[in-house]
Amino acid sequence: MNGWHYIDGAWIDGNPLVMGVWSHAIWMGAAVFDGARAFEGVTPDLDRHCRRAVRSAATLGLRSPMPAERIQEIALDGVARFPKGTPLYIRPFLWSEDGFMAPDPASTRIAISVVESPLPAPSGTAVCLSRFRRPTPETAPTDAKAVCHYAQAGRAHGEAKRRGFDDAVMLDVLGHVAELSTANLWMAKDGAAHTPVPNGTFLNGITRQRVIKLLRGAGVVVHERTITFEDLREADELWSTGNYAKLLPITRIEDRHLQPGPIYARARELYWAFAHGG
């Protein structure tokens, strides 16, 4: 791993060990993270990702040892340790050391990682329907980017990979489309963009929110609404938004093949312009 990690006031390279076998987060799961990106010399919405990390920690009963502004400052210092333009993944990670069942907020620790990670090429992904579903706010901390969510998402992702697909479409408990296993989902139909309305079962992603604002500002109609899997199968275009890959076209859903379309292309163009200060 080509990366640097800010832990306990110092930068450490490689992949350092930070938890003990009896750390509360190891067996009780009180851990959260957020992800941001540096690429082509820019760090779009880094401030919002840092603020969400602090909010996610509070949702799980943790207390960030530092404010979001300090997390951002440290992250930018980490970015500066690499040659300008290096594609990087930025991850504030917070976890509990002590407590029983509920974490002790005073025991919260933080590691801020900056690691080299190329952006995935926008060459097109294939998705299928998963049998695994997203939880409700009453059954999981769905308003936090909590580590506990990724066991279920990982089951969906692994199932899709075993079937020969790149990712999985996850539904909510009512059978409506929620998201992909690690990214928000979009479709285009009859010249308008559509994306599932946030209903508490998935994170209203920062990149998702940004793309909605950019498309609407450019005059593209965006509908946040209830979407079925059949809607996806009949869409004119499909794509995903998320911090790790930003915007990626979906070129196959189950046995149907699609091509990247004009609304996806416009969204990607607008996002790249925004990221570079446009």
pLDDT in tens, the chain (278 residues): 899 999 999 999 999 999 999 999 999 999 999 999 999 999 999 999 999 999 999 999 999 999 999 999 999 999 999 999 999 999 999 999 999 999 999 999 999 999 999 999 999 999 999 999 999 999 999 999 999 999 999 999 999 999 999 999 999 999 999 999 999 999 999 999 999 999 999 999 999 999 999 999 999 999 999 999 999 999 999 999 999 999 999 999 999 999 999 999 999 999 999 999 96
Give the number of other Cβ atoms within 10 Å of residue 138's Cβ: 7
Residue 76, amino acid: L
The whole-number pLDDT of residue 66 equals 98
Cβ burial, residue 85 (10 Å; 0-12/13-18/19+): exposed
Nearest to 108 by CA among 30, 49, 48, 51: 30
pTM of the complete model? 0.95
Backbone angles phi, psi at 140, to 5 degrees: -165, 160
68-79 helix and 46-59 helix, angle to the nearest 10 degrees: 130
Task: List the structure tokens of 223.
Answer: 């509908």
What pLDDT does 197 receive?
Answer: 98
The three-class DSSP label of residue 89 is strand
Distance, CA of 271 to CA of 262 (rounded, Å): 14
Q: Under a CB-based contact definition with an 8 Å cutoff, are residues 209 and 271 in contact?
A: no
Q: 147 φ, ψ to 5°?
A: -60, -30
Interatomic CA distance for residues 102 and 141, integer angstroms:
13
CA atoms within 13 A on the CB side of 160: 25
In a 10 Å sphere around its CB, with 0-12 CB exposed, 13-18 middle and 19+ buried, how is residue 182 labelled?
buried
Both tokens of 18, joined, read 């930070």
Residue reference for tokens 């994306």? 195
CA 276 to CA 111: how far, in whole Å?
Answer: 28
- The residues near 99 (Cβ < 8 Å, ≥ 6 apart) are 24, 28, 30, 107
Residue-range domains of the chain with CATH: 3-116 (3.30.470.10), 125-275 (3.20.10.10)
